[in-house]
A and B are shown apart, each in its own frame.
Chain A
Amino acid sequence: DQQVKQNSPSLSVQEGRISILNCDYTNSMFDYFLWYKKYPAEGPTFLISISSIKDKNEDGRFTVFLNKSAKHLSLHIVPSQPGDSAVYFCAASAQGGSEKLVFGKGMKLTVNP
């Protein structure tokens, strides 16, 4: 049973445009959500997070939006850069992030110059 779903396996965008990565979850106990970025042969690195008490969190070019009623979150990257090309994982946790991380399958983003 996939509790965190990233339904699109890949996305390709042009440099300078917006990248939108989507994530859905099913467990109502999740109250903390994170995005990780992974390059080949490296471990995932933390990118940005959001608590369920917020509906938006912004950090530079990265913004995460949370729609609790729809159990949906999205990561926006604006403007996209070739260096953003990587696999992005959505993850969720309960108890404010202190419970175990539950990951989606990941989505490969390619930003073309």
Chain B
Amino acid sequence: GAVVSQHPSRVICKSGTSVKIECRSLDFQATTMFWYRQFPKQSLMLMATSNEGSKATYEQGVEKDKFLINHASLTLSTLTVTSAHPEDSSFYICSANILGTSGGAETQYFGPGTRLLVL
């Protein structure tokens, strides 16, 4: 099956620092990658959609200057949380659509997530 990895799985940082999270499709090329955030006892919320080589599309209420997304290749997307604050502490999870598929919801494969704690 299609595998999506994320690195790191867990990160603790000081307030004001920047944190980079990587999302990789290991055995397939991805047309589109998605970044979600999940606060405790809340839903997975879509933050942004990124396509290789183009700018990410951010959901309403998500600050694009704070959450920088770089989709450099068909197998790698990165999310950088800039000047992180305690309220950014959350579970960040990515997903990817397989290149060549219809791009529908069923072909989204999720990574294991990254737990960010900002002190």
Contact = CB atoms under 8 A, between A and B. Distances in A.
Interface stretch (B12-20, B64-72, B75-83, B102-110): B102-110
Interface string A30-67: 00101010000111111001000000000000000000
A4 B46 CA distance: 13
Residue from A41, A44, A91, A97 whose CB has the most chain B CB atoms within 10 Å: A44
A7 interface: no
B111 to A, nearest CB: 5
Contacts of A98: 102-105
B30 interface: no
A25 interface: no
B42 interface: yes
Contact of B105 (A4, A97, A105): A97
Interface residues of B, number: 24
B105 A93 contact: yes
A88 interface: no
Interface in A56-104: 89, 91, 93, 96-98, 100-104
Nearest to B111: A43
B93 interface: yes
Contacts of B108: 46, 101
A2 interface: yes
Contact of B95 (A2, A9, A43): A43
Interface of B: 4, 9, 34, 41-46, 49, 59, 93, 95, 102-106, 108-113
13 contacts: A2-B43, A32-B104, A36-B110, A41-B112, A42-B112, A43-B4, A43-B113, A44-B93, A97-B104, A100-B46, A100-B49, A101-B46, A103-B44
Top 5 closest pairs, chain A to chain B, by CB? A43-B110, A97-B105, A97-B104, A103-B44, A103-B43
Given A96-B104, A102-B46, A105-B42, 13 more contacts: A9-B41, A32-B105, A43-B111, A44-B44, A44-B93, A89-B44, A97-B106, A98-B104, A101-B44, A101-B46, A103-B44, A105-B41, A105-B43
